[in-house]
Structure 1
Amino acid sequence: MKHCVVCQGIALVFVPIAFLFLWIRYRRGKRFPQRADSLSIVTTERISYYELLQATDSLSESNLIGSGSFGYVYKGVLRSGTAIAVKVFNLQLEEAFKSFDTECEVLRSLRHRNLVKVITSCSNLDFNALVLEYMSNGSLDKYLYSHNYFLDIRQRLSIMIDVACALEYLHHGCSSPVIHCDLKPSNVLLDEDMVAHLSDFGISKLLGEDKSDLYTKTLATFGYIAPEYGLDGLVSVKCDVYSYGIMLLETFTRRKPSDFEGDLNLKQWRLQKKLDVVSSIMKVALDCCVESPARRTNMKDVVGMLQKIMIQLLAR
């Protein structure tokens, strides 16, 4: 009898771990089907301006799949049959030049499976564009707010773990920490296997050696900005942590930060609700959203905590 109890106890410990191991293997298999590595930029590829016009039917409105502060994104198909996304910068905006240069500089040195992959850039006097890997399932924003799409709890958690892994790499895995500065669901893109890729590094910041923060006049999207970023322009990796926390809350509540008026915000609204299934996830999100940057958690710990929650979900 005691032997059976011991066996059951061992099973309770190792079965969830086995589930997590298989899940990670599955996710990695989807990410790396026939690929030895996962470079964010394929510098050997060269695509001309005229090839881009052909691929996008002269940047026709029917191929428009997204827009942002500095330009538009079009779907294209190369002569080889490869689907691409072409991010064209609006050069009538002075900030667009800087945004293009920033994305080129940042993405040139980044290598991670959960960052959008840039195939090449195309630039002349009148045209600046980035050619990106096409994400067939669009953005997280589309899945959260469209009546035609649905994400279950495991899918939402899996996507947010992907984003957390990308941020962990940016903050702790690069020679110089990278601050994304504009985390929000529309900047999380989903490939055909629903693997999330962080995109849009147009206002990102590189921290130099021996620097933990810097000041900037560039403002990100209202509702996701950390207090110190919005008030003083002080930017650090903890600003991304705060934005991630807001997005984690949003992903599991389907409520935008802008849905609230006056003193009631997304954090306060969540504290007034009782959810058994996602209470642990809400706690992680709130740990990210602490007002004081020094008291906020870091992305390494976030990844670890969310993976433990995934073990619990897979074991059910």
Structure 2
Amino acid sequence: MQGPIPQSLGNSINLEFLDLSSNNLSGVIPKSLEALRYLQYFNVSFNRLQGEIPSGGHFADFTTKSFLHNDALCGAPRLQVPPCKAHGRSRSKIVPKLIYILTPIVLAIVIVALIFVLIGRNKKIKLQTQDDSSSPFPWRRISCEELLRATKAFSETNLIGMGSYGSVYKGMLLDGMSIAVKVFNLQPEGAFKSFDVECEVMRNIRHRNLIKIISSCTNLDFKALVLEYMPNGSLEKWLYSHNYCLDFLQRLDVMIDVASALEYLHHGNTTPTVHCDLKPSNILLDEDMVAHVADFGIAKLLSDGDLIVQTMTLATIGYMAPEYGTGGIVSTRGDVYSFGIMLMETFTRKKPAEEMFAGEMSLKRWVNEALMDGSIVGVVDCNLMGGEEKDFSVKEQCVSSILSLAMECSNDSPEKRTNMEDALVRLKKIKVSFLADIGRT
């Protein structure tokens, strides 16, 4: 709000609470407000008010907190403002002298400040240019018309995936750059929020194992994110398609990449980020088979010290931590649980929602029983282990360590789960040990 506080507010005789702080109000505080007999709270801080602060009525009870940061208020010393001048004549003599003295000083300060601003702006431009040139996917402006042309009007032949809040299309810009365009379906409740959340999360995070946003395109009836294109598709495709297969070391590398991304989200920023929907379809592979965590549509930004929040957002059944599904409790430990389930799935090639997991039997219980019985080979993907391989025992020991870690990550009790820092260190040690043992066999 701007302009003067209206005198007519003094007619609101039953007014008890008046907060006009943090506006652009100017002029004086009306004396008519002294007539408000029931006024218990008054605050005009952070405005441009001037003149004498009323002293009658309840104004005798208000403190300095009610009048902070204004242009030129005056009044009683207890309010920590200058005393009001009794005569205007002496002031009229002083003001011209002050203007005469202060004008050259203010001009000099303004000139120096402008010089520093220009120098700082040039440095910032240089830094931004360097950052953009060093990044293979600098931020760029892309119009909706360009996206239509790049994706052939979002044709089905270019459709590469569908999710809860939209569809993903492959496209190619005129300069030959391949992109993925995530178009949000604006009909479901929460789609607008999903778009805003994904933009907010991805705006401030940078990691080699997180999907990169190249641009966004939005208007009243269209919202889309332009993403780095992942030519090798999702981890889900590589696990369950007959034409694709990841070997033992590739699967371990993918899970180390995912753990690196989660370790960065949970511990690499002042504000921890929880993905909330970790699963193989959200893990994408680039041309070098490096894994990138994608789809932050329901992610949560946790404020400092707030490692647990409550939400009604739904994740995917089977990967969802127990406390998330029953109480809507979101924390970094929930991502750790999902990572543990996905770690099991990657090396057993069994989804947590398989038909065999019914009643009391679950993927986690199935793996745990195999670990307890020493029959781990029976649950590992048959594509990974053959009985005649010379390194069979090495793989058996390695996968046993991996699945043991997965069990620790997916403990029903959030407090007993390991964190992503420790999980990442463990996986890297398992890889080093595996490569060393393979070299000796």
Q: TM-score, normalised by structure 1?
A: 0.87
Secondary structure in structure 1 of the residue aligned to 2:190: helix
Match of 2:407 in 1: 286
- Cα distance in 1 for residues equivalent to 2:133 and 2:267: 23
Deviations 1:140-184 (A, max 9, x none): 000000110011110000000000000000000011000000000
Correspondence 1:68 to 2:163? yes
What is aligned with 1:307?
Answer: 428
Q: Deviations over 1:93-152 (max 9, x none)?
A: 231111000000000000100000110100011110000000000000000001100111
Q: 1:56 to 1:254 in 2, by over 3 A?
A: same
Match of 1:261 in 2: 358
5+ residue gaps, structure 2, are 1-131, 377-395
Partner residue of 2:419 out of 291, 298, 303:
298
Q: Write the deviation string for residues 213-272 of structure 1: whole angstroms up to 9, x where unpaired.
A: 000001100000001000000110000000000000000000000011111011111123
Hey, what's the Cα distance between the residues in 2 that align with 1:207 and 1:42? Answer: 27
Q: What is the one-letter code of the residue matched to 1:306?
A: L
Mean Cα deviation higher: 48-57 or 203-212? 203-212
Residue 175 of structure 1 is matched in structure 2 by 270
Counterpart selection for 1:154 from 249, 253, 268: 249
2:336–2:419 contact (8 Å) kept in structure 1: yes
Residues 179-258 of structure 1 mapped to structure 2, 5 A cutoff: 179-258=274-353
Answering whether residue 226 of structure 2 is matched by residue 116 of structure 1, we say no
The residue type paired with residue 324 of structure 2 is Y
Structure 1, unaligned runs of 5 or more: 1-34
Indicate the RMSD between aligned Cα atoms, in angstroms. 1.3
Q: What letter matches 1:95 in structure 2?
A: G
State the 1:312 CA deviation: 1.6
Match of 2:231 among 112, 117, 136: 136
Residue in structure 2 matched with residue 91 of structure 1 by the alignment: 186
Using the TM superposition, give the Cα deviation of residue 212 of structure 1 relative to its aligned residue in structure 2, in angstroms.
1.4
CA distance in 2, matches of 1:209, 1:114: 24
Mapped partners of 2:327, 2:401: distance in 1: 32
Cα distance in structure 2, aligned partners of 1:310 and 1:152:
13
Query: In the aligned structure 2, how far is the partner of 1:38 from the partner of 1:282?
Result: 37
The structural deviation recorded for 1:36 is: 7.8
Alignment of 1:25-44 (within 5 A): 42-43=138-139
Within 5 A, what are the aligned runs for 1:3-82? 42-43=138-139, 45-82=140-177
Cα distance between partner residues in 1 of 2:259 and 2:157: 33
Matched residue count: 280
Amino acid at match of 2:427: L
- Partners of 2:245 and 2:134 lie apart in 1 by 31
1:37 Cα deviation (Å)? 5.7
Q: 1:101 aligned to 190, 196, 207, which one?
A: 196
Q: Deviations over 1:23-67 (max 9, x none)?
A: xxxxxxxxxxxx98669x843x00000000000000000000000
* Distance across 2 between alignment mates of 1:208 and 1:306: 29
Higher Cα Rg, which structure: 2
Moved over 3 A (4+): 35-39
SS of 2:353's equivalent in the other structure is helix
Structure 2 letter corresponding to 1:266: L
Say if 1:178 and 1:38 are closer, same or farther in 2 by CA, change over 3 A: farther
Q: Is the 8 A contact 1:239 1:293 kept in 2?
A: yes
SS in 2 for 1:203: coil
DSSP 3-state at the match of 2:292: strand
Distance 1:108 1:62, change over 3 A: same
Amino acid in the other structure paired with 2:369:
Q
Corresponding residue number in structure 1 for 2:88 = none
User: Residue type matched to 1:130 in 2?
Assistant: L
Match of 2:16 in 1: none
Counterpart-to-counterpart distance in 2, 1:248 and 1:242? 10
Q: For the structure 1 residues 232 and 37, does the alpha-carbon distance in structure 2 shift closer, same or farther, using more than 3 Å as the test?
A: farther
Q: One-letter code of the match for 1:194?
A: M
Say if 2:368 and 2:407, in contact at 8 Å, map to a contact too: no
SS of the residue corresponding to residue 94 of structure 1 reads coil
Structure 1: distance between partners of 2:168 and 2:433: 39
The answer as to whether partners of 1:207 and 1:214 remain within 8 angstroms in 2 is yes
Deviates more, 1:246-255 or 1:263-272: 263-272
Q: Helix, strand or coil: the match of 1:258?
A: coil
Q: 2-side partners of 1:239 and 1:72: how far apart?
A: 26
